[in-house]
Amino acid sequence: MKSLFSKLQQHSYEILKILSFVVAVVIVVWISPRERMFKYEFRIGKPWNHKDLYAPFDFSILKTEKQLSDEKSEVLKNLKPYFQYDRASTITGRKQLIRNFGERWSFAGKNKEKTISQQDSITYLDALLAVYDQVEKGIVRLDPVIEGKPKTFQIKLIKDNIVRDVNLAQLYTVKEADDYAISYIRQLNSADSVLLFDIIDNALVQNVIYDKYKTDLLTQEKISKISPTIGLVQKGELIISQGELVTAAKYQVLASLKKEYEQDLGNSGAWKYVFGGSLLLISFLFFIEYLFLRVFVPSIFSEIRQLHLVLGSQVALLVISFLVFSYYPSWSYVIPYTLLPIVIAAFLERRGALVVHLITLMLLGFYAPNSFEFFYTQFIAGFIAVFSMGQLSKRWHLVKTSLFVFLTYLSVYLSMLMIQEASFSSISVRFILMLSGSSLLILLAFPMIFVYEKIFGMITQLTLLELSNTNNELLRQLAEKAPGTFQHSMQVANLASEVLYVIGGDALLARTGALYHDVGKMNHPLYFVENQSSGINPHDELGYEESARIITGHVLDGVEMARKAHLPEQITDFIRTHHGTRRVEYFYRLERKQNPGMEVNETEFRYHGPVPFSRETAVVMMADSVEAASRSLVNPNEQKINDLVEMIINSMIDTLQFNKAPITLREISVAKKVLKKKLVHIHHVRIAYPED
């Protein structure tokens, strides 16, 4: 039992990785649609490459989306909207008319004589208003539902709880009612006509009003009566023969059979087979992904957080896609599937991103509408996205990728149309808008990358570029408090990045780390020779152990400053490792010389480490040491620089400083050559002219 427990403990990291894949499989299987898969592939314009197909059961032929849309449009075109006659507002308007007329008549009576009596005028106006209160008359309030309609367009007018079909020609608009009132009053041929014009104009009430609620109910009722099918195929009936061309009509029959087949689980035990098959297929694909990452992309597989980034992003995309496939299949192409390889490539590497993208598409292809077209489109778009994004070192790179993905989508879509339809007559603007929306959603990579950096503690090229800006607060402080150290850091950054360009590695990471590697010297800048300009050395007043403690302490001080400045751990690693576990040789030797025959405590003169554990940190250690030592050379020449670099880097090898870094002796040899060449140029070493 103890042996088993110790083995589990020994391989706990590997077990945790396997469990991560198991959890991913469980989630994907659980959320995947519970449908049988139609075993035949077919496309319009292509021959049926399978054996003769007979109907396995009775099923209805579904109408196409275009047919349903056309029928819906026809229903809406012939729909008669409901309008309500508002009798209350008509009565209120008449009362207001009589009130206003009485007030105006009294006022006008003081200034002139009347040709007709007040009662006759009221009777005349009342008769005029009655015209708008007739069965087929009224003043209609304009609404978008009747705008632009001809006068022959019919509406359903509800008046006194009776519904009548009325043409728009039988109703007045406000302007038409006003014109009729003017012509009606002119029949008086009286001086009081002007007074009546003014009063009747203010008394006209729009009393025929659109009833949206009843119209919507009628619309829903009409649409619900549209049959989704156009025929029936009986069991045993021949659907299509082998080699027969799949026409649009045949395609619709096959699509109807496919939908019916996938939705019908048959007997009560069928779901178990569907579930078991899904479990096996999904497990196989994740197992292939596990093997590929383990064998071919160990840089991703080696760290659990990187593995979680990949699996978490993959599972999230699968869950969202399955939900859309199940409930909103017509919106399937809006999902930005290319986000997955873009984000993985931004943090990790392209090869792994492409394989993960491919496996994700295979998982989605089981359930996606028009699976072949879906797989082909997203496969091409994903590869174009990864190849076009570059190192993602500029924001424009992601915008460019979004544009390239859209052009890829459009090209594939038009190509499919040419093959299937042999024309561009059926281009769908809605589908193109969905493709453009999916391409624009790629820009979500910006906030996603920021969130992922915080969650998984990883950095991208964009973050490194921001951190390498010398106007950042910590670097500005270094330049002000320790200008010599700042210049030294700049030189180390240039040397390290040049070496990594040659031997391979993340040159920008090394450059950024090198800029920060000595920030701890800000606490005691004058104790470091590059910052001493007055000729006074504070170490002269200290013991050698204390001096060594201050020198080694700049590493711990730097780590603390990096923590307070919230620098990523990858940058802080350069501060921790740039001296490894080496000794402060200068003060160690002085201590031994001062105390001959006595045992010197080496721990007091040794850096705390750790030693470099990446190619980038190893290169920065080399560049830091050779650059600092080269400043002490008197009359430097090519030979002196060559000997210095060989001595320092060989010493690092002898003291096992590179044992944990994935860097080979051949790469170290190349690094030496690059450092020698760069240092020769830095110190302006010239070739001596021969004497006459």
pLDDT digits (tens, 9 = 90+) for 2-27: 566 666 666 788 889 999 999 999 99
d(CA 276, CA 101): 86
Q: Which pLDDT value is given to residue 159?
A: 84
Q: Which residue type, as a one-letter code, is found at position 398?
A: L
Going by C-beta distance under 8 Å and a sequence separation of 6 or more, which residues neighbour residue 205? 86, 89, 90, 92, 93, 132, 139
Closest by Cα among 300, 294, 407 to 350: 300
| Alpha helix stretches (DSSP H) within 421-472 | 429-440, 445-456, 461-467
Token representation of residue 137? 């008359």
Q: Spell out, as residue ranges, where the chain has pLDDT lower than 70.
A: 1-10, 34-39, 93, 96-136, 181, 184-204, 262-271, 391-393, 421-422, 684-692
Q: Which pLDDT value is given to residue 226?
A: 86
Q: Which pLDDT value is given to residue 340?
A: 93
Q: Which pLDDT value is given to residue 112?
A: 45
Closest by Cα among 478, 660, 449 to 493: 478
d(CA 331, CA 663): 49
Q: Which pLDDT value is given to residue 266?
A: 46
d(CA 3, CA 557): 44
What strands, in cross-sheet order, belong to the sheet with 208-210?
162-167, 154-159, 82-85, 208-210
How far is Cα of residue 228 from the mean position of the Cα atoms in its chain? 36
Q: Which residue type, as a one-letter code, is found at position 182?
A: I
Helix axis angle, 395-420 to 429-440, nearest 10°: 150
Q: Which pLDDT value is given to residue 445?
A: 87
Q: Which pLDDT value is given to residue 579?
A: 92
Q: Which pLDDT value is given to residue 105?
A: 57
Closest by Cα among 400, 493, 410, 398 to 446: 398
Q: Which pLDDT value is given to residue 110?
A: 45
